[in-house]
Amino acid sequence: MDQKMPKQLPDFVLANLFPSNLVIVESAEKTKPISAPKAVVIDPPTYSGPAKERPEKWYLGNNGKNIVILVHEPEAAFLNEESLDFLTKILGACKLNLGDVAVINIARYLANFGEIKQELNPSSCLLFNVSAATVKLPFTVPNYQVQQYGGCTFLMAPSLLQYYGDSGDAKLEKTKLWVSLKSLFNL
């Protein structure tokens, strides 16, 4: 349990903790301008690849409905804030929550499908920016195509970054994902 807590809670958690509006009142007193701070150089975190030994809890969520979500986000322990926010929204649209799934960041905890199947027994597996070959699956399918294999239903999709924002491309990708999720979960 050598995980660090995030410095800031995600927006959706704060919204649930404080359901009423919070108001910040500006002081009527004028303040003096602050001089520009001196630049501080901070070394970026080093990434050494997937962990050789997985901790006891190597996935995010409780896997309550045996749904595994594989992501590849080297900068995050599991997911960055924007990805977690988007994933929470799409799970909600599918009438699911983080307690129903197990999110595995293979950039941190690389596992092949045989290990995942043995430990988590998934009925469905969503792969975001993770190729079938990376987790040692014997097939490849295009993004958004639902595929059955070994008692599990698979859905491959691009990185969660593709769904950020309201651009035409992001909306198109969200639509493709939603159509596939409806098929996968019989919505």
Domain membership of residue 48 (yes or no) is: no
Q: Nearest to residue 104, comparing CAs of 117, 90, 86? A: 117
Distances (CA, A) of 73 to 12, 139, 144, 170: 20, 23, 20, 19
**pLDDT tens digits for 15-33?**
666 655 555 555 555 555 5
Domain membership of residue 175 (yes or no) is: yes
Domain membership of residue 76 (yes or no) is: yes
Give the pLDDT score at 37: 46
- Number of structural domains (the chain) is 1
Give the pLDDT score at 56: 72
Domain membership of residue 18 (yes or no) is: no
Task: Please tell me the pTM assigned to this model.
Answer: 0.70
**Which structural domain range is residue 85 located in?**
55-185
Cα–Cα dist 88/80, whole Å: 12
Domain membership of residue 3 (yes or no) is: no
Domain membership of residue 10 (yes or no) is: no
Domain membership of residue 163 (yes or no) is: yes
**pLDDT tens digits for 108-131?**
888 889 999 999 999 999 999 999
Domain membership of residue 166 (yes or no) is: yes
3-state secondary structure of 125: strand
Q: Any idea what the CATH number is for the domain that residue 73 is in?
A: 3.40.470.10
